[in-house]
A and B are shown apart, each in its own frame.
Chain A
């Protein structure tokens, strides 16, 4: 039997022919033109061993130098090597107490069996592992190949690789659980030549991925009983005589390719007609969650409709939703044209914090990450933070502004508030714009990148108005889709669309600083003007309110004072000093004073000191005390039952 390399060399030209124009397109493109630069093209022939949880594959890559400088090396991401105990990802997981034991099953790897360059033959000896972020020589998630000859600008180079994957018992994104297998970050992926330099970071616990747009042609061979969902669209299926089948997929203008396989999937399809044409909604739902199919599809469709209306069209012909195996740590992840959601068996209709929120958030990543392909390593907030803001908007639109998370009889909560609470847990440890792997820990990363960014944008919305901010995001999307924008590009878009130059102080404090915003009503007094006269009743009253800026974040806030006769007085304070006093002489006594009465400044870290009422009301206190006393009594009765 010919060697793997020879077979690949024989197949490669055929693959190129098959990918020539005329083949079914996976995108809606005017006149069939590529939507992106298509820097790289992948052809992958893979064979999955579902028993051993391994995969053997050959990969052909055509890479074009789109920079103005010649390139002398090419780095590859070998993400599966993150699941080796010695990797940087493992060490950071240990640091953040993720509880991964890295037993034999939990270890994964990707081994490059061979690598050659067309015209130069085997270049295995020219490869080495590099650790550009932390110098950890045991971290093998980045492999650099020195080129025998530089590739000039505009020229292309063709490489052939053979590799062997060992999938781990899933602890994060990739791997298997029972007989479900998620092929994510499973192939050697070229880094990004960005700003004239290679950008290829190690896999960290707090980072995701960054790659160039291109095309993918993948043939996956696996047992026939498995049902597969993948990026792009399926272009063919071949039944083999050995009980396997080979499924063919093609993806265009995408920067990653993922797939999921399970014998327990049930297929549920639907169609959404957006502004470009019909999009196939392809949901693969586990048999145990069969009752969730309609809800998945409905939520996905509604999300597509909102994003299409607010930001722009979804140009791909299909979106695949994977319902992952429970307890697999694979749910809640995004890949171009494929998302993994996740549902619990008990998810009542009034609870949206599970499958609904996950589906909306992951679909949103098709825009912020999938098409606007920012660098998730260096500026994670550009996709996660902006997407979290979009998620708040979509969920509020679909499920009610205040009840978008939970809409129960005796309690409720909103997605927006949940983001704010996430932020409140670690409000001042790291700035939003920090690189992902440089955050203090995973908790700060989650709080700041997701929560603070979403809330900072919501607070910005209170200044600009929701329609204006939506226009900003729409412009940002349409301008930078299929590109790699930076934070500067985003801020420039904000200034350009709003026409405002005075936003810089806010943007700098909110995104680049760690300042905390907290305004409080320190005191409120409302006494008769001639207070020295005893036995006097009635007005006029002299009302005095003292505001304090407890944090270091300067932001103009509105003050509202309400009086017993129903009248109100308002004022605005810029927060320049540490405190300010406002006074009025009015016919009636004051009832309360409140900062930010419209609750626009969600960056304020303490809502409980934003107001002061002269007449105390202990209802809330007694209510909570009642719960506490009840809990203590119940606990004591249980303990006394035990002893």
Chain B
């Protein structure tokens, strides 16, 4: 088995491999990393509860001892609710509640941003989904994700701004002719189409974020190399990807709507059960979002895994040609006939053979014989893991569902990887590089 390190100048060899069931794999990925959604939901709930404290305490003088409150506690008399709003509106209580809510929401969005980034990191890097890892990963990728958000925001503004402008013009003309239900239908349909485009932009942006983390595994810190591959990948598997994205999102929305419907059917005074239903609905809505993230991570890591996985493949085992092409790095020789069992062999080899101590490389790294694994460049600040990332990667991404248990047994040792001649990048044998 050889390992060849290729420069980025080498044109990627297209190796065909099947994509897994994105919905299922994405769901499993999300389920395996369930603490991600739980921690995010917890943050979501905590901030909202904090925002509720001033409201709850401020309403106490108006409601706790007033019989008028019975018109709100049971079936709501809207008049009483509106009067309450008028009464509290005359005090400084409302501005305080609103300001508190605004600041807490801004802070919450920041925290959720970090947690979502951390979750993407966990999904891609196969790190354990602990809160500390979420935070660490989220903070590590924070500014890259911010830059990606700026780029995506700019693109979205252009695309959606143009579409909304066209929609506005068309509706203005339509309103000269159509009224009532007809114009409502046209408005709704056009808004729906723009929403679909917006979701598409969001999906591309999500893929960019996954690529950012994936590229970081290859030592890439810039977000630029993530933009086009994400777009290419999206359009290469458009219907499958977008369809899965929509299904996962809609599942969350439907679950949320179902909880709201059950809430509405409750007797009016059942406040605590209503609270539970509301929270369940919000949790399921959030879970749908994480399902989407799982789908995106599965797609990228299956269709375009980081170089460390593909560089380690030997070409000698013949492999079936598969249906879909995915760009990978690596030489033509050893990537032809790539197959999953070969990867399993490498993993077994890596587990049984001692690893060389990683060294920081100032130039093209040298692979010293007879190290079984070529030394990888060690960026500053990298901590050596107890388990290799590759090992973790293999267990988290079965790449199509095959597991070592199902492989035909191989007893002969694999050959040592051949040292690459020219290295701009080294395969990763160490834990993920943290900035």
Contact present for B52 and A636 (CB under 8 Å)? no
Q: Spot the interface stretch: B274-282, B332-340, B375-383, B398-406.
A: B274-282
Whole-angstrom distance between the Cβ of B120 and the nearest chain A Cβ: 13
* B73, A617: Cβ atoms closer than 8 Å: yes
A98 in the interface (beta carbon within 8 A): no
A170, chain B: closest CB distance, angstroms: 14
The one of A413, A425, A626 in contact with B77, judged by C-beta atoms closer than 8 angstroms, is A413
- A175 CB to nearest B CB, Å: 15
- Nearest CB on B from A260, distance (A): 16
Assess whether B44 is in contact with A326, with CB atoms less than 8 Å apart.
Answer: no
User: CB distance B62 to A608 under 8 Å?
Assistant: yes
Bound Cα distance A346, B185 (Å): 12
Task: Closest B residue to A636 by CB, please name it.
Answer: B108
Q: B114 → chain A, closest Cβ, in Å?
A: 10
| Docked-complex contact A625 and B109, CB < 8 angstroms | no
For B175-204 the 0/1 string (1 means CB < 8 A from A) is 111011110100000000000000000100
Interface string of A616-633 (1 = CB under 8 A from B): 111111111110111011
Chain A residues closer than 8 Å to B55, beta-carbon distance? 624-625, 628
The answer on a CB contact under 8 Å between B68 and A288 is: no
Contact with B along A313-346 (1 / 0, CB 8 A): 0000000000001110000000000000000111
Q: Which of B82-90, B164-172, B306-314 contacts A (4 or more CB under 8 A)?
A: B82-90
Residue-by-residue, is B64-101 near A (CB-CB < 8 Å gives 1, otherwise 0)?
A: 11111110110111111011101100000000000001
A617 lies within 8 A of B271 (CB) = no
- Residue A417 contacts which of B63, B73, B77 (CB distance < 8 angstroms)? B77
What are the residues of chain B within 8 A of A607 when measuring CB–CB? 68, 80, 83
Q: Are A326 and B83 in contact (CB under 8 A)?
A: no
Given known pairs A406-B78, A621-B59, A630-B278, the reply for A636 and B49 (CB within 8 Å) is no
Choose among A420, A623, A628, A630 the residue that contacts B79 (Cβ–Cβ < 8 A): A420
Within 8 A of B (CB), among A550-576: none
B48 adjacent to chain A (CB < 8 Å) = yes
Q: A412-B78, A637-B285 are in contact. Are A629 and B68 (CB under 8 A)?
A: no
The binding surface of chain B is classed by DSSP as helix
A641 within 8 A of B: yes
Q: When chains A and B are docked, how far (Å) is the Cα of A633 from the Cα of B109?
A: 10
Q: How far is the CB of A422 from chain B (nearest CB, A)?
A: 10
Let me know if B63 and A618 touch, CB within 8 A: yes
* B272: nearest chain-A partner, CB-CB: A622
From residue B140, how far is it (CB to closest CB) to chain A in Å? 18
Given contacts A288-B179, A620-B73, contact A612 B66 (CB under 8 A): yes
Is B131 interfacial (CB-CB < 8 Å)?
no
Is the pair B78, A611 in contact by a Cβ cutoff of 8 Å?
Answer: no
Which positions 110-160 of chain B face chain A at CB distance < 8 Å?
A: 112-113, 116, 149
A617 to B70, CA, bound (A): 9
Q: Does B286 contact A (CB under 8 A)?
A: yes
Q: Beyond A326-B180, A616-B65, A632-B101, is A421–B271 a contact (Cβ under 8 Å)?
A: no
Let me know if A592 is at the binding interface, CB within 8 A.
Answer: yes
Does A634 sit within 8 A of B, measured CB to CB? yes
Q: How many Å from the CB of A404 to the closest CB on chain B?
A: 11
B258 nearest CB across to chain A (Å): 15
When the two chains form their complex, are residues A608 and B83 in contact, meaning their CB atoms are under 8 A apart? yes
Q: Which residue of B lies closest to A413 (CB)?
A: B78
Distance from A340 Cβ to chain B, minimum over Cβ atoms (Å): 16
Known: A607-B68, A621-B64. A635 touches B105 (CB 8 A): yes
**CB–CB B105/A622 < 8 A:** no
In the complex, the answer to whether B76 meets A608 with C-beta atoms within 8 Å is no
| B-side contacts of A619, CB under 8 Å | 69, 73, 269, 271
Chain B residue, CB-CB nearest to A420:
B79
> Do B86 and A424 touch across chains, with their CB atoms under 8 A apart?
yes
B52 touches A640 (CB 8 A): no
User: Cβ of B184 and Cβ of A613 under 8 Å apart?
Assistant: no
Report chain B residues within 8 Å CB of A635.
105
The answer for the CA separation of A620 and B83 in the assembled complex, in Å, is: 14
| In the complex, B36 has a CB within 8 A of chain A | no
0/1 interface trace, chain B 278-310, chain A, CB 8 Å (1 if under)? 100010011001000000000000000000000
- Kindly state the separation between the CA atoms of A622 and B73 in the bound complex, as whole angstroms: 9
User: Which of A346, A425, A639 contacts B86 (CB under 8 A)?
Assistant: A425
In the complex, residue of chain A having the shortest beta-carbon distance to the beta carbon of B49: A629
Min CB–CB distance B373 → chain A (angstroms): 40
With A411-B77, A620-B69 known as contacts, the answer to whether A178 contacts B56 (CB < 8 A) is: no
What chain B residues lie within 8 Å of A622 (beta carbons)? 56, 271-272, 275
A-side contacts of B264, CB under 8 Å: 409-410
Task: Tell me if B79 and A413 are in contact (CB < 8 A).
Answer: yes
Docked complex Cα distance between A275 and B278 (Å) = 56
- Indicate if the CB atoms of A640 and B109 lie closer than 8 Å: yes
Q: Chain A: which residue is nearest B149 at the CB level?
A: A643
Chain B residue nearest in CB terms to A406: B78
**B108: which A residues are within 8 A, CB to CB?**
636
- Closest residue on chain B to residue A328 by CB atoms: B179
Bound CA span A402–B77, Å: 9
B180 touches A288 (CB 8 A): yes
Q: Give the chain B neighbours of A413 by CB distance below 8 A.
A: 77-79
Q: A598-614: contact bitstring with B at CB < 8 Å (1 yes, 0 no)?
A: 00000000111111111
Across-interface contacts of B175 in A (CB, < 8 A) = 327
Is B104 part of the contact surface with A, judged by Cβ < 8 Å?
yes
Are A616 and B79 neighbours in the complex by a CB distance under 8 Å? no
Q: Which residues of B contact A630 (CB under 8 A)?
A: 48, 278, 282
Q: Does A594 contact B (CB under 8 A)?
A: yes
* Residue B60 lies at the interface, judged by CB distance under 8 Å to chain A: yes
Contact A178/B66 with A402-B77, A641-B289 known, Cβ cut-off 8 Å? no
User: Bound state CA distance, A609 and B47, in angstroms?
Assistant: 32
A626-B275, A630-B282 known; A288-B66 Cβ under 8 A: no
Name which residue of chain B comes closest to A614, CB basis.
B65
Give the distance in Å from the alpha carbon of A613 to the alpha carbon of B75 in the complex. 20
* Known contacts A607-B68, A608-B87, A637-B282; A411 and B271 CB within 8 A of each other: no
What residue in chain A is nearest B55 (Cβ atoms)?
A628
Cβ A421 vs Cβ B83 within 8 A: yes
- Asked if B29 is at the interface of the complex by the 8 Å CB criterion, the answer is no
Is B387's beta carbon under 8 Å from chain A?
Answer: no
With beta carbons under 8 angstroms apart, the residue of B45, B52, B274 that contacts A628 is B52
**B51 interfacial by beta-carbon distance below 8 Å:** yes
Cβ of A185 under 8 Å from chain B: no
Q: Does A289 touch B at the CB level, under 8 Å?
A: yes
> With A and B bound together, what is the CA distance between A634 and B278 in angstroms?
10
Closest B residue to A619 by CB, please name it.
B73
Q: Which residue of B lies closest to A639 (CB)?
A: B109
Q: Tell me, yes or no, whether B361 is within 8 Å of chain A by CB.
A: no
**What's the minimum C-beta distance from A341 to chain B, rounded to whole angstroms?**
14
**Which residue of B44, B67, B76 is within 8 Å of A410 (Cβ)?**
B76
Cα–Cα, bound, A313→B252 (Å): 60
Contact A620–B72 (Cβ < 8 Å)? yes
User: A61–B120 Cα gap in the complex (Å)?
Assistant: 83
Q: How many Å from the CB of A89 to the closest CB on chain B?
A: 26
Tell me the minimal C-beta distance from A540 to chain B in angstroms: 24
Q: List 14 A-B contacts (CB under 8 A).
A: A178-B177, A410-B76, A413-B78, A414-B79, A421-B83, A424-B83, A608-B69, A617-B70, A621-B64, A621-B69, A628-B51, A632-B47, A634-B282, A640-B116
Task: Given contacts A633-B44, A634-B282, A637-B282, list 15 more A-B pairs with CB under 8 A.
Answer: A325-B179, A327-B179, A409-B75, A410-B76, A410-B268, A413-B77, A607-B83, A608-B63, A608-B66, A620-B72, A625-B55, A626-B275, A630-B278, A637-B285, A639-B109
Sorted from nearest, which 6 A-B pairs have the closest CB atoms? A417-B79, A345-B180, A620-B69, A611-B67, A413-B78, A632-B48
Chain B residues within 8 Å of A, Cβ to Cβ? 44-45, 47-49, 51-52, 55-56, 59-60, 62-70, 72-73, 75-80, 82-84, 86-87, 101, 104-105, 108-109, 112-113, 116, 149, 175-177, 179-182, 184, 202, 264, 268-269, 271-272, 274-275, 278, 282, 285-286, 289
Residues of A within 8 A of B (CB): 178, 286, 288-289, 325-327, 344-346, 402, 405-406, 409-414, 417-418, 420-421, 424-425, 592, 594, 606-614, 616-626, 628-630, 632-637, 639-641, 643
